Structure 1
Amino acid sequence: MLADKLRKSVLQSAIQGKLTEQLATDDKVEDLLQAIEEEKELLIKEKKIKKQKPLPEITEDEIPFAIPENWKWVRLGEIGIWEAGTTPSRSKSEYYINGKIPWVKTGDLTDSILKSVTENITQLALEETSLKIKPVGSVLIAMYGATIGKVSILGIEATTNQACCACVTYKNIYNKYIFYYLISQRDNLKKMGAGGAQPNISREKIIKTIMPLPPLAEQKRIVEKLDNVLANIDELKASEEKLSILQKNFPDKLKKSILQSAIQGKLTEQLATDDKVEDLLQAIKEEKERLIKEKKIKKQKPLPEITEEEIPFEIPKNWRWVRLGALSSVITDGTHKTPNYVNKGIPFISVQNISSGKYKDTKLKYITEDEHKKLICRCKPEKGDILFCRIGTLGHPYIVDLDFEFSIFVSLGLIKLINKDINVYLKAYMDSPSFEWQINKVKVGGGTHTFKLNLKDIVNFLIPLPPLAEQKRIVEKLDKLLADIEELKI
């Protein structure tokens, strides 16, 4: 995102002295460093800190860029006292139960002022371990794992775990300048910690890291400028994220809108030359009666009349509302018993194989031919039939286009249409918000139970049925429009 690139650029400009004006009235940075040395000697004398080993001299090869004349390169160990914490034994519950002392873990760090933590320890843990309370204003940095380089400034007194290093800065070092500098170096810090199963940057690596140090007044000007500029960049990032969500969701919303328009007859022209839809329905009725007479399908229970209250929207004059059961010879589902799977055999298809609207053999399972023969006595999917998800992700129709036999699990429903020429239009309807609305009215489950559709409800679903010629025009229009929408996806 542009905001992220801009943030990195602004932080880099700041630590190179390019974001603010250098003023001749600023104190010399050498005086600042001398004051630090004097403060350090006093703390050692008072036994508040131990004398440290001298840090290595900074070489020319280490310096990555030029800085203003009145700045100096220093190591982070020169500007503050860096200490990591520890994790009190988890086996001693008295270290944690009813604890009131904030204990910072790396997951608590948020690149901002830290005012709350997810866990506390007790006074006993503080007394019996090496933990120390860090004062408000301490700069924290994560040293281990995926959070390497995450930082915060303590807004409360707190202790830290061993993966979190805390810096108490010396006088004349502005903690927020260190905070911003560490953020600017996050990528470099991650590289320093790379290479292990559990990457870490260690306290030793941190204190040896070099930093460009301006005079205190310049540190404050840099921070003030960054506070202002980065706040604006945060607003830009929020806007970018909203735009990204809109761009991501727009194609799907547009697709649903177009599908809804299509099944309401608003996408194509109604032609007087089309056959009457009653003729299509009569032909379906006669074919169903023939199949019943020849005992190829069972006689169905009469479907309830469609009432005015059920009709969700108006349709063109030459369309009719019908129930799905009136268009189908069979609406059923797959086997309710989990079969014995084999390495090779007849494909056994479930939701994951067709939920995209196309067949995918991902994680495909197989059953024996003998078991398949038992299952097809009840449910035999064939080319042109419609499969749909009836457990879990509901709806998601797929028109069977496979040249091999297969069986299906109970998670899939099967619709065998009397006239298979209807199937492509019906699939488009089943993809529409109107069909989804009917699903949501009758689906059962929720909470800890998986949603499912009962077959008796699906039979009664309403379908807005146009003449066949109009169905073909709708499908042709949708094919073109939906292909264009796919190209919009990012």
Structure 2
Amino acid sequence: MVKKKKTVEELLNEALVPVEEQPYEVPENWVWASLKSINSSKKRGFQPKDSLDETFELYSVPSYPTGIPEKVMGHEIGSSKQFVNEDNVLLCKINPRINRVWKVSKSQQNYRQIASTEWIVVENLKLNADYILYFLKVPFFRKLLTSNVTGVGGSLTRARPKEVENYPIPIPPLNEQKRIADKVERLLSKVDEAKKLIEEAKESFELRRAAILDKAFRGELTREWRRKNSNSIEGNYYINKDDVITNEDEEYSDILYALPNSWNWFKLKDFENDEQLVLTGPFGTSLGKKDFVNSGVPVLTIGCLTENGLSLEKANYVTEVKAKELSKYQLRKGDILFSRMATVGRASIVESDHINSIFNYHIMRVRLPQELNISYFLYVVKGSISTKRYLKKVNHGATRDGINTNELLNLPIPYPSFKEQEVIVEKINDFYKRENIVMEYVENCEKKLLLLKQSILSKAFKGELGTNEPFEENAIELLKEVLQEQSR
């Protein structure tokens, strides 16, 4: 029995979103329709084995951030793909919390174009592709997309294509679609320009911070202070000056640099302590995933060592009983924590609100004599040029992922008198305080730009950008053309 073909009116009734289900009000000459009703894309699978020596433009998920499809040979493609065409709009279904929407551009070298099957393809030659592109990025649509997913969470979640095709899309007249797309592009380009300036400001902050630390540990930051306080720059070394490192020491010849006459180089291990100077966190046999609980005593990880101090956001937890077993790893105020693996050299100081925590195997604790200026040592291990050079030297090789206790004990320390250390720390803290105020302002601007971008997109698809012409033909006629074309 031959299936009766639906009329355009029947298709229109199926396509239109009932008034009571419309997400929000739009101009009178717009219509709400299901995404499925305007999507004429027919999935065309591609098997790489059929074209081993052909070059393709591949729209893969990993290449999305670059904005440029990959050029690949058929024999380099390991799994099935789908053919796509110019002006197809690609909506990423994997981990939909990340806003990934991509429009297929014209091939620069007439290569056939293919895409990962992780993209949902939206195609309609009668609608404006840029309009569809921007709509799929709008906060309202993204909320729908993330509200009904499969998978256990994070990067393993996927939007459900069968659900997505039923999501509503507002359809204005064709000319209005173009006006909206053009205006959104202009406004968002201005937002992107502002965002670029913010990124440059952040980068300049990093450069200024590196510069201030470099000057601090070369003695340049306190040159004028030394000139005015010549009576305060001698003595107070705490350790034997016979232990100084010199440029004649081959181990350090490519690490040391010239210091002021009143300064000296020492090794970290020269600062003797009644307690163990450097201690590595408990090994996996003493502390592992099996010991972690939802709350209790914090176990600090490398992720807890931030530029703004210690944070418990990425801490694990153990019971009080387990913490007692690991009491030798309990922290106290003034301890310096140093990452020994992965991001080697990240460091933070333990403040009062983090005492009684313990630390994991990826961290080494430095416990200096209380008579010393702990903040000075923290800045040395975080940012001095000598520390960077030393870590680069000892942490080398393709399979090397960290440094050991002995290597940290041999870290060279540029060391002035106690009084000058206090002045250096005061100057660095003052710099950080001023820079943090600036960075807080910059970060607030960044948040406002994100909100502005969302506002632009939201207003665009409500007809609130001042582009709508109310006397243009109702978009229902355009939708009829779309449905009629698809029913052929």
Provide TM-score, normalisation by structure 2: 0.59
In the TM superposition, what whole-angstrom CA distance separates every residue of 1:58-96 from its partner, at most 9, and x where no partner exists? 99x8994478xxxx999999x9992432658xxxxxx55
SS in 2 for 1:421: coil
Instruction: Give yes or no for the alignment of 1:56 onto 2:12.
Output: yes
Deviation at 1:432, TM superposition (A): 1.8
* Distance of 2:169 and 2:356 partners within structure 1: 68
- Alpha carbons 1:384, 1:401 under 8 Å: kept: yes
The within-5 A match list for 1:244-255 is 244-255=198-209
State the match for 2:232 in structure 1: 275
SS of the residue 2:49 aligns to: coil
Q: Secondary structure at the match of 2:366?
A: strand
Q: Is the CA contact 2:90–2:104 (under 8 Å) kept in the aligned structure 1? A: yes
How far 1:482 moved relative to its partner? 0.9
Cα shift readout 1:262-319 (whole Å, capped 9, x = no counterpart): 2222223114354343x323x5339x9xxxxxxxxxxxxx776443845744333332
Q: Within the alignment, does 1:429 sit opposite 2:380 as a pair?
A: yes
Name the Cα RMSD after superposition: 5.4
Pairing 1:84–2:42 present? yes
Contact 1:99/1:120, CA 8 A, preserved across alignment: yes
SS of the equivalent of 2:232 reads coil
Q: Does 1:152 align with 2:104?
A: yes
Q: What SS does the corresponding residue of 2:413 show, helix, strand or coil? A: strand
When structure 1 is superposed on structure 2, of 460-469 and 346-355 the one drifting more is 346-355
Larger relative contact order (Cα-Cα within 8 Å, sequence gap ≥ 6) = 2
Query: Paired residue for 1:263, among 217, 238, 242?
Result: 217
Instruction: Letter of the 1:482 partner, please give it.
Output: Y
| Aligned pairs for 1:289-438 within 5 A | 305-307=246-248, 309=253, 312-329=256-273, 330-334=276-280, 337-340=283-286, 349-354=300-305, 356=307, 358-361=309-312, 362-365=315-318, 368=322, 371-372=325-326, 376=328, 383-402=333-352, 408-418=359-369, 420-438=371-389
1:285 equivalent in structure 2: 240
Deviation by residue 1:335-358 (Cα, 9 ceiling, x = unmatched): 553354556987655544445574
Q: Is the 8 A contact 2:64 2:100 kept in 1?
A: no
Q: Which one of 173, 182, 188 corresponds to residue 212 of structure 1?
A: 173
Cα shift at 1:245 = 1.7
Q: CA deviation at 1:487?
A: 1.7
Equivalent residue for 1:91? none
Give the SS at the match of 1:180. helix
TM-aligned CA distance change 1:468 to 1:117, over 3 Å = closer
Higher Rg of the two aligned structures: 1
**Aligned partners of 2:331, 2:66: CA distance in 1, in Å?**
59
**Given the superposition, is the C-alpha separation of residues 205 and 84 from structure 1 closer, same or farther in structure 2, using an over 3 Å criterion?**
farther
Note the residue ranges of structure 1 that are not aligned, 5 or more in a row: 1-49, 89-94, 289-301
Cα offset, 1:468, TM superposition:
1.4
Amino acid at match of 1:363: N
Cα pair 2:347 2:378 within 8 Å, conserved: yes
- CA displacement, residues 98-133 of structure 1 (integer Å, 9 cap, x when unaligned): 347979889599799998788979xxxx9xxxx998
**Letter matched to residue 443 of structure 1:** V
C-alpha distance in 1 between matches for 2:229 and 2:368 = 26
Counterpart in 2 of 1:196? Answer: 148
Alpha-carbon shift at residue 392 of structure 1 (Å): 2.6
CA distance in 2: counterparts of 1:113 and 1:322, whole angstroms: 51
* Number of residues of Structure 1 aligned to a counterpart in Structure 2: 386
Give, in whole Å, the separation in 1 of the partners of 2:171 and 2:143. 15
Q: Which residue of 2 aligns with 1:461?
A: 411
- Find the aligned partners of 2:206 and 2:120 in 1 and give their Cα distance: 43
Alignment match of 1:178 (pick from 128, 142, 147): 128
How many angstroms apart in 2 are the aligned matches of 1:409 and 1:245?
33
CA distance in 2, matches of 1:206, 1:345: 45
Q: What is the one-letter code of the residue matched to 1:422?
A: N
Shift of 1:449: 4.5
Q: Which amino acid aligns with 2:173?
A: P
Q: Is the 8 A contact 1:397 1:427 kept in 2?
A: yes
Find the aligned partners of 2:425 and 2:309 in 1 and give their Cα distance.
Answer: 17
For residues 310 and 66 of structure 2, what CA distance do their matches in structure 1 show?
A: 48
What is the rounded CA distance, in whole Å, between the counterparts of 1:110 and 1:395 in structure 2?
32
Distance (Å, rounded) in 2 between the aligned partners of 1:306 and 1:336: 36
Q: Which runs of 5+ in 2 are unaligned?
A: 150-158, 444-488
